[in-house]
Amino acid sequence: MAVYTDIDDEELAAFLSDYDIGPALAFKGIAEGVENSNFFLQTASGRFILTLYEKRVAEGDLPFFLGLLDHLATRGVNCPRPLQGRDGAAVRRLAGRPAAIFTFLDGMWPRRPAAAHCGEAGETAARLHAATAGFAIRRENALSLAGWPKLVASCTPKADTVSPGLAKLISDELAFLQDAWPQGLPEGVIHADMFPDNTLFVGPKLTGVIDFYFACNDTFAYDLAVNLNAWCFEGDGSFNLTKGRTMLARYQAARPLSAEEIAALPVLARGSALRFLLTRLHDWINRDPAALVRPKDPLECLGWLRFHQHVTSAGDYGV
C-alpha cells in the first residue's frame, strides 16, 4: 500500500455520500506498498480501507479483482470485501481515478516470519486455491512464461550495472525455463504475490490476505512456489528447510499435491524467482530518484534463483 494521490475534504465527503456508512470521522494515508493509493477510513459504521487505483492496475481488471474478493469472502477466506454504494456499484471515481472502499481487517504483517507463520501461509494458500473453484471470470497471468521474454529484453541492456554477468544469467535461465516448464498441472485462480507484507496476523494466527492485484489464472503449484520464495529464505539468502517443510505440510493437509506437482516444484520455484527478479530489476533500473517509494532489491531474488538452480528434487524444500 502507498499514497500517490491526495484527496481533499470536499472530494471525500462527496464520494462517501454515495454510501450508507456515514461521513468520515478519521482519514489518513497508508505509506506502505508500491501499487495504489490507500487510506484508512473510519466512520460511524466502522473502519474501512479506501483505495485509489493508480496506473499499474488496469481499470478493466477491477471486475475480476473485486469479484474474486467477494467470491473468496463468501467461502471463508479472510480477505477485504468491497462495499457497494447505494447504486449497487463497488467502483466509482475519486480524484480522477477509479476507487473502492473495502472492509478493514485486523492484524499486522510479520517482519520476521517464523516457521509457524509459514505454516499458516501454506494452509491459507491451499484453502484459497480450493475456494476459487467456480469463480467465473478468467484473467491470464501476464507475468508468467509467455511474458518473461519482453521483460528480459527490457532489463538485460542495463542488468550488468546492477550485478556483473546478470544479463547472461537471466537470458540463460529464460532459455532453460522455456524448455523445462511443466504443462497440465491443476490450475485455477491464484494470488501470485502472497508475500508476508500481503498478509495480516494477530499473534500466530493469519487473519487476512490482502493485495490481490496480481491474482490470475495459473497452476496452484506455481503459487505455492511463489510462497516458498516469499516466506522461506532468510536474510542471508539461505533457504530455511524447517520453514519449507512446515509450509508444505500445512498446505498438503488442506490440499494434497499430486506427484506431478511435487516433481515440478524445483522448476516452478526457479520460474517464480526469475519473475520477481525481472520485475524488481525493471523497477530498480527505471526508478525515480524523487519517488517516496523505494523499489525492492532484485538481488534478493537472484539469491533465490541460484539456490533453486542447485536443487535436485522437491525433497530439498522439505516435501
**Is residue 77 domain-shared with residue 140, that is, in the same domain?**
no
Instruction: Give the integer Cα–Cα distance in Å for 83 and 91.
Output: 9
User: Do 147 and 83 lie in a common domain?
Assistant: no
**Helix H or strand E encompassing 67:** helix 62-73
pLDDT at position 2: 53
Rg (CA), the chain: 20
pLDDT value, residue 1: 42
- Least trusted range by pLDDT, from 55-64, 75-84, 122-131, 227-236: 55-64
Domain assignment of residue 134, yes or no: yes
Give the range of the structural domain holding residue 138, as residue numbers without chain letter.
Answer: 115-317
Q: What is the pLDDT of residue 6?
A: 81
For residue 83, tell me if it sits in a domain. yes
**What does the DSSP 8-state code read for residue 82?**
B
The answer to the question of residue 265 being in a domain is: yes
Which residue, 17, 96, 108, 83, is CA-closest to 53? 96
Share above pLDDT 70 across residues of the chain, in percent, rounded to a whole number = 96
Whether residues 194 and 72 share a domain: the answer is no
- Is 150 inside any structural domain? yes
Query: 135 and 246, same structural domain?
Result: yes
179-191 per-position pLDDT tens digit: 999 999 999 999 9
- Picking from 22-26, 265-269, 282-286, which range would have the lowest pLDDT averaged per residue? 282-286
How far apart CA 169 and CA 156 sit, in angstroms, is 10
pLDDT at 217: 98
Check if the beta carbon of residue 5 is closer than 8 Å to that of residue 52: yes
Nearest to 226 by CA among 310, 127, 301, 309: 301
Q: How many other C-beta atoms can be found within 10 angstroms of the C-beta atom of residue 117? A: 22
End position of a domain, from candidates 83, 103, 123: 103
Whole-number pLDDT of residue 36: 84
Summarize pLDDT for 22-34 with one digit per residue, the tens. 999 999 998 765 5
pLDDT at res. 292: 57
End-to-end CA distance of the chain: 34
State whether 188 and 311 are in the same domain: yes
Same domain, 281 and 183: yes
223-232 pLDDT, tens digit per residue, is 999 999 999 9
Task: Provide the number of structural domains found in the chain.
Answer: 2
**Core vs surface per residue 205-237: b (16+ CB within 10 A) or e:** ebbbbbbbbbbbbbbbbbbbbbbbbbbbbeeee
What CATH number is associated with residue 212?
Answer: 3.90.1200.10
- Residue 3 forms part of a structural domain: no
Q: Which of 17, 60, 8 is nearest to 39 (CA)?
A: 8
**Tens-place pLDDT, residues 106-155:** 999 999 999 999 999 999 999 999 999 999 999 999 999 999 999 999 99
Does residue 167 share a domain with residue 33? Answer: no
Mean of pLDDT over the chain: 94
Same domain for 73 and 41, yes or no, is yes
Regarding whether 261 and 129 lie in a shared domain, the answer is yes
Q: Where are the beta strands (DSSP E) in the chain?
A: 24-29, 37-43, 46-52, 92-94, 97-103, 187-190, 199-202, 205-209, 216-219
Q: What pLDDT sits at residue 54?
A: 84
Which residue among 103, 125, 144 closes a domain?
A: 103
pLDDT higher than 50, residue 192: yes
pLDDT at position 294 is 73
**pLDDT value at residue 290:** 58
- Answer whether residue 81 shows pLDDT above 60: yes
Choose one of 103, 129, 152: the last residue of a domain: 103
59 and 131 in a single domain? The answer is no
- What distance in Å separates the CA atoms of residue 197 and residue 111, rounded to the nearest whole number? 8
Residue 4 lies in a domain: no
Considering the domain architecture, whether residues 151 and 240 belong to the same structural domain is answered as yes
Are residues 169 and 139 located together in one domain of the fold?
Answer: yes
